[in-house]
Amino acid sequence: MEIQLWREILDPYVLAVDELTVKFRHIIEEYRKMGEYSPIEQVDGRVKTISSILEKAQKKQVDLDEIEEKIEDIAGIRIICQFVEDINRVVDIIKKRTDMYIKSEKDYIANMKPSGYRSYHVIIYYTVQTLGGTKEIQVEIQIRTLAMNFWATIEHSLQYKYKQNMPEHIQSRLTKAADAILCLDQEMSEVRDEIMDAQNSFKIKAKIVADILTNIQNLYKIANKRDVMKIQDEFFELYETNDLEQLERFAKELDIISEGYRAQSLW
């Protein structure tokens, strides 16, 4: 096939990778703006090289005119997460979208490959608009943790170096490394719960403190200044202790006090 024809075929794939990269990166931004944890840590994309497409077509015995249908990963997006639990959240995000729909899924996390490879693959159909009209193409989305990605990147370059003849001792080291990566991901999942708890109690505390400060500020307008300063000192003391329960109790008491003053000021 002429190089110009390849360009025409691959152009929509380049567009799809560009668009999808922007869309998934925007999701990270949306989470950050809401002050929430993003299940997506990082997004990359690539279009397979012509030689890699031809190599895969030969290996899978795919005719040239069937390449676009049978080689599902000409366009590829890689989504990296911090924790294994984030992967399902990302899959759910993809499932809810209306600008792409899922053709198939492969769960190499529940079913690790014999090589030790772990990742979640989703093949989607995605429509791009070009001057030539609309075109629906297939895109492979690989979703994996930082640790899984580390292992896959190293293993991929070793596979490239040794082709089919990976020495036994390297193969066995890779298997050991895959076990270590599995443990690492499990350890990180334990930490994840703690991070989530910390983030949660931080948000609750910030809300209580904001309510207390608003109440104190309003009291200055209607109550005896010396009384309000006493309340304020009490709050500062309590704030130092970092005791969430006591802060909650204080906020409720302050609500009642404020209500009393408001009722008085109406007279």
* Catalytic annotation, residues: 140
Report, in Å, the least distance between residue 127 CB and ligand 0O2: 22
117 binds ligand 0O2 (CB under 6 A): yes
Q: Decide whether 117 or 239 has the Cβ nearer to ligand 0O2.
A: 117
Near ligand 0O2 by CB under 6 A, which window of 114-122, 205-213, 220-228, 237-245? 114-122
Q: Does 68 bind ligand 0O2 (CB under 6 A)?
A: no
Provide the terminal-to-terminal Cα distance of the chain, rounded to the nearest Å: 90
Is 115 one of the binding residues for ligand 0O2 (CB under 6 A)? yes
Alpha helices in the chain (DSSP H): 3-33, 50-59, 67-70, 84-96, 146-162, 168-222, 225-241, 244-266
What's the CA gap between 119 and 40, in Å, rounded?
Answer: 14
Tell me which residue of 136, 46, 132, 76 sits closest to 100, measured CA to CA.
136
- Binding-site member from 152, 178, 228, 247 for ligand 0O2 (CB under 6 A): 152
Shortest separation between residue 140's beta carbon and ligand 0O2, angstroms: 7
Under the binding rule (CB under 6 A), the answer on residue 113 touching ligand 0O2 is yes
CB of 78 or CB of 100, closer to ligand 0O2: 78
Q: What's the Rg (C-alpha) of the chain?
A: 28
- Does residue 185 belong to the site contacting ligand 0O2 (CB under 6 A)? no
Burial classification of residue 224, based on how many CB atoms lie within 10 Å of its CB (0-12 exposed, 13-18 middle, 19 or more buried)? exposed
Rounded alpha-carbon distances, angstroms, from residue 240 to 20, 53, 253: 47, 62, 18
- Residue 266 backbone dihedrals phi, psi, to 5 degrees: -75, -20
The residue from 156, 161, 203, 252 that contacts ligand 0O2 (CB under 6 A) is 156
Q: Identify residues 120-139 at the interface with ligand 0O2 (CB under 6 A).
A: 121
Task: Write the DSSP symbol of residue 99.
Answer: S
Beta carbons within 10 angstroms of residue 14's beta carbon: 15
Q: Which residue from 25, 56, 192, 205 is in contact with ligand 0O2, where contact means CB under 6 A?
A: 56
The residue ranges that bind ligand 0O2 (CB under 6 A) are: 48, 52, 56, 73, 106, 113, 115, 117, 121, 152, 155-156
